[in-house]
Structure 1
Amino acid sequence: MRLTHPKIILTVAAVVALALFAGLAYSYSIWPFRERSEIEAGEVCSSLGPSSSVVNALTKVLPEESSYSFDENASLRVDVTDTNYEFSCFVSGGGKQLLVVEARLMEDEPSKSWTQWVKGTAANETSVKSLTPFTAGDKAVASSRFAAIFVPCTSAGKAPGGQYNLSVSTELKQAGSSSDAAVRDELIKLTRTASSYIHAKAKCDMTPKIDQ
């Protein structure tokens, strides 16, 4: 029997096209057939802190990708008089940068001016549009895409210019499937954990006040 009815022909063509797409998608690991890679603790940037808690937080906030990569850079302090300390951890997957954690030693300043400054460090302005405070360090703010803590580090008289703090921030550039509230909580956890670890490695002499 010949299929001559236009609707039947279109239906058959649609089914064939869908089957072809499904086959190609599976072959090339295209969503929804992409298999999510597990984040290995040994691959995570060391300065983010204890790997088990970091892996758990990253798994909750990052989008599903078939592989993840971590790139870490650090400029360490020589001693407590040194005013130079910078750290960065870049998390990538699927050919995109997914998350960035950064830390910088800087002179202490009022909360309002630091908040304005740290907003300017975000790569995406929308990440910092809805920042609200939380309790940590001298000042801390977070949204569903960004979290930052201003952590006391070197007391006045130890380094030129007075007290120095560590500004530690986490920016989520590509979101996963978790709710905004859940992501904000996990970004805060990531930033707290990184701040604690970095504070210990940055030759700080002040109490960080991270967990309050």
Structure 2
Amino acid sequence: MTASVSRSLLPLAGGITGVLVFGLAYACGAPPFGKERGEIKAAAVCGTLGSSSGSADALREVLPDKSTYVFDDAITDARTDDMDFSYETSCFVDGDGKQLVVATVEMLQYDNADDWRKDVVEELVPASSVKPFVAADMAVASREIAALYVPCVRRGLGRHLSVVVQLKEPGKGDDEELRQGLITLAQNTALFAHQRAKCDAPSKVTQ
């Protein structure tokens, strides 16, 4: 009698195992449940991110897998001449309806670069999370953000471009891979802005 009951339970156990495997595959996004990653085409990347091919490669490194990516680009305040002291751009990258990256540039002026870092960078991430890298008058980055304080206008108060690229939802890379990808995006963005804003002070940014 006992053996008969055990044999009758075998199909049930097999069914439970099948359900568990099915559920695990679904949760992990394994085939056939996983979404194919959408293509990030250089031509579709925000123009304000600078080098389209370089920025597209960097985005592929830092972005999480999504089936579609949408880019929203705008130069909201273009600097028209040498007497104009305003410049502002934004680029938003969405994936499957979620905001993934925000990249902004704004012409600002602080008494020193430390004030810029405290006012701009530390409003977004803790000071302890970022490490400096060599670029502009100040540059810091982490796995979540890369920001540069870029010289722009020589005369007067010496206005700068505040360049910030923030990753809202990270991809699968390790911390250093994400940090380097964001640095590339921020540097490309800074070089584009420096030229587009008609800056006459050396940017101190290289690719």
> Per the shorter chain, which TM-score range?
0.7 to 0.9
C-alpha displacement at 1:170, in angstroms? 0.6
C-alpha displacement at 1:208, in angstroms? 0.6
RMSD over aligned Cα atoms: 2.3
Report the residue type matching 1:166 in the other structure: L
**Aligned match of 2:193 in 186, 198, 203?**
198
C-alpha displacement at 1:38, in angstroms? 1.3
Q: Which runs of 5+ in 2 are unaligned?
A: none
For these two proteins, the number of residue pairs brought into alignment is: 199
CA contact (8 A) 1:147 1:184 kept: yes
Runs of 4+ in 1 over 6 A off after TM superposition: none
Change (3 A) 1:203 1:121: farther
Distance 2:123 2:36 in 1: 33
C-alpha displacement at 1:108, in angstroms? 3.9
Q: Which runs of 5+ in 1 are unaligned?
A: none
CA contact (8 A) 1:143 1:184 kept: yes
Alignment of 1:28-67 (within 5 A): 31-32=29-30, 33-67=34-68
Deviations 1:120-170 (A, max 9, x none): 552xx46x541111111111111111110100001123xxxx110000011
TM-score by length of 2: 0.87
Deviations 1:7-29 (A, max 9, x none): 6414313414644886xx5xxxx
TM-score by length of 1: 0.85
Taking only the aligned residue pairs, the percentage that are identical comes to 36
Distance 1:41 1:172 in 2: 19
Alignment of 1:132-171 (within 5 A): 132-157=131-156, 162-171=157-166
